């Protein structure tokens, strides 16, 4: 019985310590119970209405982005993604168009009334990026690039923070804390699959991350189904699952001609498939609100 | 260009080899395109209508099972689960009531018109089990206990096969193939989370497994949200995600008094919480059909 | 400072609880500080002298085993391994020669004065196996096949228990506890690599497992370098690392003609390579004692 | 038989493609068969003689570094490590002394004739770092911070590149390729444990990485046993295993008073333990050469 008592003290201690630990975080729901909504003007993330973000893996040309944006606009999608600065495993792979890529995105997005999400990899590029993009993406490989986190935290442009390849939920929230504690509270957290032993998918979509973040934090949650699956045939069911689990938005990659794409040619869907994806999402009982996006 | 040609031949070869490999499997959709439906008489698994399986982790007493079954029946749930032979990490933990547990399950289930799902761990117990249960469960730790797979494959009672702790999808389907090739084609595949580095959940629910199995196989798919999460507060969003991804059924553990449960006391929900879980599932836009289960 | 005090109490509690937990185990060094030595008559495991276990993945014919054993004997290796009951992912792969395989192993081993290690997968086969083998192997897939653990625990033949594909150290020791608490304290623990995301090796040899087991338990430790690496070119450095970390024995697979082996053809080394492996181990500064095995 | 032929073509194709892929890399042994030796003047890494790198996790004060360096010098250790720019999960944890930390390291190192290894996290800090350190460390979290890789690749100071938390071997070598292809071929690769499900160690030391890198690349290999284990009681056996597997150097953290260290207080060893560690390494049959370091 003394052992029992002891156990209780122990458990209580444990809870107390963890409570203290998390209560302090600016990203914690304990500090701010109300959902953070990212307001991009013509579209919001975290307002309770499911959103789709689409676009090519890499920006390759103005024509390519135009073709994608045209279909997106027709489908009522308001946010375009596209990589201009590409984090590539090999230094010999296509590294992106850089500044020119951001300029293409901006011009095409403005033409169709879209908002732009694009990744940067260097603190030195933050200021430049804020002139062209509406949301700065911090990629999975840079989730613990603390200098970059502080740099985007000093800007006023909203940030899309992707979960690291093998980051724990705790590390993910602390990475967001770096941004918010630097002054920028406009952060969206993006689950994009974690690295496991399974080989039939490129990564393992950790669907539990969605409700966990919603519970622990007030920040909105996005799910990148393309990088999670790494294959085209799972995008629709994973998008449904993401929304069912409480995600605020789903990101999907689409390209006018995936087979010749300069990156991720295996996992991007072509434009007719993207339209079909949107139609099926809208027709499913899961997403009546998406109807409103048309 | 010769390199390009070469690449194409290579890819074609790869596809061909894999095709040949999978086409042969009895569990493959290439061998049988029509969905397998497990017909338990008063309830089916795989008929397109989402189902819930509920019950305590361990059978502890007739009274305990009775209390659970009463609530389940009120909620329109038709299948009860409960452990009589318990696979426990430590030999000093509660090992289950054995035969007596199966008898309790059967009596209570018959009283409420429920179907029984329970695990056995030894080939020697198969025949005995078939007298008491409607579905024999093969647990995660025994997914590659090939003697057990062959033994349940020789029976005519349907089998619920759980994915191993760190089994690949390929190994999972091959384990099912052991059962089906032994003569029993009544197999349900159950995703229950895989082992990863993440610590905020007991296991990582591999939601992609659901659409992958539905594509590759004609067998029905269940998702055990309790073992996936290992915590009570994620069950509802994970159940919704599972159905949204295409699962035929969801399994959840409930106990009249979880805090004194002889196993898994942290992750079982109490009966009022279970009723709330059912109500919220039914009220969600995701599961109108569950209304019909009442 | 009160927080600091609190932290100390907390840490002390944690240590105490874990201490109590582990002290109870029969496999724990806290219960028995002296190393367990498995005495097979002409050879011991755990006596402080590094040992090699070798042999083919599967027993295929008497001639095949004879060829291997001949080279082994010449190299001073005293223990032969060979699979007669094979756990195979696919039901259509070679399942082993069964009883005939054990009989071949016994006859050849007796001819060369070797000891036999072979796997069984069913509790029903334990008694039969004890008539032919000197050490019963419980494979990785059966590490938590508790019926099998209890069955080999009731025999008096020593047991080689392999770590599960993704078993924690704690689960591994508890699995051994099932055997020892059933009455058989002659258990060797075998690390054989765990499942991770890394693709250049079949499994990831968890070298830390060796000193961890030596600290926590009095049981001897073996390392299966063949299954850890899943490739031939790492066997020598991994064997050296295993011994340097404190392993009592190393297991390696060798086959007269690996390219036509009925299982694991990619990872078995041929006999000249095996002789070279032994020579290089012996010549290395790491294993002077192996000289004595010649 | 046509299928057999087909398989052979397939395998040949596979090998050819991979060969082409790797042959191109500057870090590949296929491009340069001779071992790269990092020459720091009074000490070399990769010259065939095992080396130890030691020092505190974080630089906290000149006195602290002095105490450590004094013991190191007495033990014949020539390279001191210490963190001045600390990558910390939480923004509220000690972030390091920055420039002042590097200056302390330099002064103390010069006093004892040691070489300095220290981490920087920002491309902007490279030039400054080259004035104080002999080897720039790129930490695990920044292994794919491509801007940083290019920046250190443009410097002429040698680089210690740590493997990412869950990086594959392929990604690790490609990260090194970013540095070498930017002009700096003085790179040491450091295995520091990977993230797995196992909980008794902080990370899982992937010992196979050592011989794999030695085979695939001409660059020297270090093993950080402190971060691999995350506990003090495994350092000696892991260091032995690292050297046995072919590592050129082992890194270990030591602190005058670990219990009050500002970071990693659980895993740093105190100075008497460090001296014991060195003595035991030297006395072991594994490292006669270390005698020469005294």
CA atoms of B152 and C188, how far apart (whole Å):
31
Report ipTM for this prediction.
0.91
C134 or B1, greater pLDDT: C134
Domain around A21: 1-33
Mutate one of C2, C10, C199 to test the A interface: name it (highest A CB count within 10 A).
C10
- Residues of B near A (Cβ–Cβ under 8 Å) read 166, 168-170, 194, 196-201, 204-208, 210-212, 214-215, 228-229, 233-234, 237-238, 240-246, 285-286, 288
- CA dihedral (A161, A166, A169, A172) positive or negative: negative
> Cα separation of D113 and D130, whole Å?
18
**Contact criterion met (CB below 8 Å) for D45 and D37:** yes
Quick check: D220 and D186 in contact, CB under 8 A? no
Specify whether C27 is located in the same domain as C50. no
Put simply, the answer to whether D145 touches A174 (Cβ < 8 Å) is no
| Angstrom distance (rounded) from CA A103 to CA D233 | 55
Given B201, B211, B238, which is nearest A245 (Cβ)? B238
- Identify which of B158, B98, B97 has the alpha carbon closest to the alpha carbon of residue B130: B158
What local confidence, expressed as pLDDT, does residue B247 receive? Answer: 97
Task: Please check whether residues D276 and D252 belong to one and the same domain.
Answer: yes
Side-chain-side CA neighbours of B59 within 13 Å: the count stands at 28
Question: Using the beta-carbon criterion (under 8 Å), do B208 and A242 form an inter-chain contact?
Answer: no
Chain C, nearest residue to B124 by Cα: C124
Q: For B137-146, what is each residue's pLDDT tens digit?
A: 999 999 999 9
By C-alpha distance, which of C279, C266, C270, C267 is closest to C67? C270
Q: What sign does the dihedral D265-D268-D269-D274 (CA atoms) show?
A: negative
Q: Are residues D63 and D156 in the same domain?
A: yes
Q: Are C189 and C213 in contact (CB under 8 A)?
A: yes
Same domain, C172 and C227: yes
Q: What is the pLDDT of residues A100-115, one digit of tens each?
A: 999 999 999 999 999 9
Residue B263's pLDDT is 87
Which of C147, C166, C177 has the CB atom closest to B90's CB atom? Answer: C177
Q: Please tell me which of the candidates D91, D121, D122 has its beta carbon nearest to residue A177.
A: D91
| CB distance D172 to D164 below 8 Å | yes
Chain C CB contacts of A3 below 8 Å = 20
A294 pLDDT band, cuts 50/70/90, is: very low
Is the domain of B27 the same as that of B75?
Answer: no
Bridge partner list, C52: C250
Which residue do the tokens 């057990």 mark? B148
Give backbone dihedrals phi and psi of D11, rounded to 5 degrees, phi first.
Answer: -60, -40
The band of B13, judged by pLDDT with boundaries at 50, 70 and 90, is low
Q: Are residues B20 and B106 in the same domain?
A: no
- Kind of pairing between the strands at A38-39 and A44-45: antiparallel
Going by pLDDT thresholds of 50, 70 and 90, the confidence category of residue B158 is very high
Are B77 and B205 members of one domain? yes
Q: How far is B30 from chain A (nearest CA, A)?
A: 16
CB spacing of D13 vs B10 below 8 angstroms:
yes
Over residues A251-259, mean pLDDT: 96
Percent of chain A surpassing pLDDT 90: 85
Q: CA torsion angle for C73, C77, C83, C84 (degrees, to 10)?
A: 50
Distance CA B231, CA B217 (A): 30
Among B166, B199, B212, whose Cβ lies nearest the Cβ of A200?
Answer: B212
Q: What percent of chain D has pLDDT over 70?
A: 89
Neighbours of A61 (CB within 10 A): 14
Query: Are D90 and D214 in a shared domain?
Result: yes
Mean pLDDT of D131-140: 98
Q: Which DSSP helix (H) or strand (E) runs through C103?
A: helix C99-112
Residue D265: its pLDDT value, please? 84
How far is C34 from chain B, CA to nearest CA, in Å?
A: 23
Residues of B in contact with C142 (CB under 8 A): 144-145
Count of the separate structural domains present in chain B:
2
Contact C52, C224 (CB under 8 A): no
Question: CB neighbours of C15 closer than 8 A, spacing ≥ 6?
Answer: none
Which secondary structure element, helix H or strand E, spans residue C161, and what is its range? strand C159-162
CATH number of the domain that residue A240 is part of: 3.20.20.70
Helix (H) or strand (E) holding B239: helix B235-244
Between the alpha carbon of residue D155 and those of residues A88, D124, D126, D150, D185, the distances in Å are: 21, 12, 8, 9, 10
Residue D261: helix, strand or coil by DSSP? Answer: coil
Does residue C153 contact residue C138 with C-beta atoms inside 8 Å?
A: no
Q: Which residue has the tokens 């699979």?
A: C83
Interstrand relation of C249-253 and D38-39 (parallel, antiparallel or unpaired): unpaired
Residue D29: pLDDT over 80: yes
Furthest C-alpha separation in chain C:
74
In terms of CA atoms, which chain A residue is nearest residue D24? Answer: A92
Lowest-confidence pick of C182-186, D13-17, D41-45:
D13-17
pLDDT score at C52? 97
Contact state of A144 with D141 under an 8 Å Cβ cutoff:
yes
Spatial contact of B71 and B32, defined as CB atoms under 8 Å apart: no
Residues of chain A with Cβ-Cβ distance to D90 below 8 Å are 174, 177
CA D259 to chain centre: 24
Cβ proximity of D191 and D210 under 8 Å: yes
In sequence order, which ranges of A81-168 are alpha helices (DSSP H)? 99-112, 126-130, 146-154
Q: Are residues B26 and B40 in the same domain?
A: no
Task: Going from the first residue of chain C to its last (294 residues), give the mean pLDDT of each consecutive group of 10, the final group possibly shorter.
Answer: 59 56 84 97 96 97 98 97 96 96 98 98 96 98 97 98 98 98 98 97 98 98 97 96 97 95 90 96 72 45
C25 and C52 together in one domain = no
SS3 C54: strand
For residues B162 and B171, what is the distance between their CA atoms, to the nearest angstrom? 12
Please count the other Cβ atoms lying within 10 Å of the Cβ belonging to residue A187.
Answer: 28
pLDDT tens sequence across A24-82: 899 999 999 999 999 999 999 999 999 999 999 999 999 999 999 999 999 999 999 99
> Which chain A residues have a beta carbon less than 8 Å from that of D92?
24, 181
Alpha-carbon dihedral sign for residues B227, B230, B236, B240: negative
Indicate the SS3 state at residue C197.
coil
Tokens of B106: 């059967």
For residues C20 and C130, membership in a common domain is answered with: no
Is the pLDDT at D294 greater than 50? The verdict is no
Mutating which of A208, A233, A238 best tests the B interface, going by the most B Cβ atoms within 10 A? A208
pLDDT tens digits for D208-226? 999 999 999 999 999 999 9
Substitution target from C23, C140, C197 for chain A, most A beta carbons within 10 A: C197
Phi, psi of B92 (to 5 degrees): -95, -5
What's the confidence (pLDDT) of residue A266? Answer: 87
Examine the domain organization and report whether B186 and B227 are in the same domain: yes
Query: What pLDDT is recorded for position C94?
Result: 93
CB-CB neighbors (< 8 A) of B10 in chain D: 10, 13-14, 17
Chain A residues whose beta carbon lies within 8 Å of the beta carbon of residue C197: 166, 195-197
Tally helices (H) and strands (E) across chain C.
10, 10
Question: CA of C91, closest CA in chain B: separation in Å?
Answer: 6
Which residues in chain D are contacts of B197 at CB distance < 8 A?
Answer: 166, 195-197
Confidence category of residue A83, pLDDT binned at 50, 70, 90: very high
DSSP per residue over A183-197, as a string?
Answer: T---EEEEE--B--S
User: Hey, are the CB atoms on A88 and D146 less than 8 Å from each other?
Assistant: yes
SS3 readout for D52-99? EEEECCECCCHHHHHHHHHHHHHCCCCEEECECCCCCCCCCCCCCCCH
């Amino acid at each position: 019985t003394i052992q029992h008592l002891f156990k209780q003290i122990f458990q209580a201690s444990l809870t107390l310590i963890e409570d203290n630990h998390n209560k302090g975080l600016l990203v914690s729901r304990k500090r701010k119970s109300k959902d953070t909504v990212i307001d991009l003007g013509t579209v919001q993330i975290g307002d309770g209405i499911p959103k789709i973000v689409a676009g090519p893996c890499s920006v390759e040309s103005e024509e390519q982005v135009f073709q994608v944006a045209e279909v997106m606009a027709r489908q009522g999608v308001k946010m375009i993604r596209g990589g201009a600065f590409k984090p590539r495993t090999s230094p010999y792979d296509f590294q992106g168009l850089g500044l020119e890529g951001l300029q293409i995105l901006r011009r095409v997005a403005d033409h169709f009334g879209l908002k732009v999400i694009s990744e940067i990899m260097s603190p030195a590029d933050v200021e430049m990026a804020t002139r062209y993009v509406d949301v700065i993406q911090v990629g999975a490989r840079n989730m613990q690039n603390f200098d970059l986190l502080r740099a985007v935290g000093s800007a006023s442009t909203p940030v899309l923070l992707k979960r690291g390849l093998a980051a724990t939920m705790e590390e993910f929230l602390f990475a967001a804390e770096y941004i918010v504690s630097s002054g920028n509270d406009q952060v969206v957290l993006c689950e994009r699959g974690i690295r496991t032993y399974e080989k039939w998918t490129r990564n393992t979509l950790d669907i539990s991350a969605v409700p966990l973040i919603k519970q622990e934090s007030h920040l909105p949650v996005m799910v990148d189904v393309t990088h999670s699956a790494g294959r085209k045939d799972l995008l629709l069911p994973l998008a449904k699952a993401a929304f069912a689990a409480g995600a605020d938005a789903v990101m999907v990659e689409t390209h006018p001609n995936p087979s010749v794409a300069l990156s991720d040619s295996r996992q991007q869907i072509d434009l007719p498939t993207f339209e079909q994806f949107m139609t099926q999402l809208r027709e499913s009982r899961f997403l009546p609100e998406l109807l409103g996006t048309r």
